[in-house]
Amino acid sequence: MLPQAFDVTDKVVFITGAGRGIGKGIAQVLAEAGADVALNSLTPRYVEGVAAEIAEASGRKVVPVIADVTRTDDVQRAVDLVMETFGQIDVLINNLGDAIYKPLVALPGQETAALTDEELNRVMDVNLTEAILCTRAVGPHMLARRSGKVINISSWTARQGGGDMVVYSIAKTGLAGFTRAQALEWAPYGVHVNSIAPGIFPDPVTVGDDGMQRAKDMAARSVPLTRPGELREVGFLALYLASAASDYMTGQTIFLDGGMSL
């Protein structure tokens, strides 16, 4: 039996970008631990099936929330829907993120084109702007209750950049800075803000057998622990940060990357 401090029974968790990947793994663990979960995605393609699957497996209330959380109006609509459905939001997990692997400027002797303005803005929006917008929308509810947990999903690139990932690294580094600053602003009101910075965490359902093999090969070369992470492993750390067990931690970015950032 887990210590009482890890109990999240009847907590309400709102997770962005949760139709697949790390968001799905986090949702599975938190629902199994007793939380009710709102899963956000831009489209219903994956998230409706994932929500039904997790609800059946856990016995908890799990609902899909279709919204573009890089847009202020959609964010507010999504938060209002979660509040109407559950009556509260105890934990916000800003998980949405994606990378476009292009250089900032076309490199001599290479064929890959430079990142366009549209692509640059998209990378910044899905990795940083969405976290700011969602935190701003949920903040009044948590501040009024003087209780809440915000968990931002950053990346190992917040510490160590990579080729063709300049803007992505900028956004994730900014997310770590946002975590520190927002944690300081809200600490007197009982609201905690922390980040998880994952390494390689492929989703077997969406990348397929070939993608999983590529991830394993990459991890064998670049990860000190020589393997990719499993989606639920991010969920285990999220459970700690979502629970009372982490009540003396705020403003931190925890690297869960098998040693990639060392």
Decide which of 203 and 55 is more confident: 55
User: How many CB atoms within 10 Å of residue 38?
Assistant: 26
The label of the residue with tokens 């997770």 reads: 15
Per-residue pLDDT, 3: 85
Per-residue pLDDT, 163: 75
Q: For the chain, what are the domain ranges?
A: 4-256
Decide which of 181 and 204 is more confident: 181
- Dump pLDDT digits (tens) for 54-79: 999 999 999 999 999 999 999 999 99
Per-residue pLDDT, 138: 98
The CATH class of 4-256 is: alpha beta
- Which pLDDT band holds residue 207 (cuts at 50, 70, 90)? confident
Alpha-carbon dihedral 17, 18, 21, 23, rounded to 10 degrees: 100
In angstroms, rounded to a whole number, what is the distance separating the alpha carbons of residues 230 and 87?
A: 32
Per-residue pLDDT, 111: 85
- Active site annotation includes 101: no
Q: Which of 46, 101, 168, 248 is catalytic?
A: 168
Whether the pLDDT of residue 143 is over 90: the answer is yes
Per-residue pLDDT, 160: 85
Mean pLDDT for 118-146 is 98
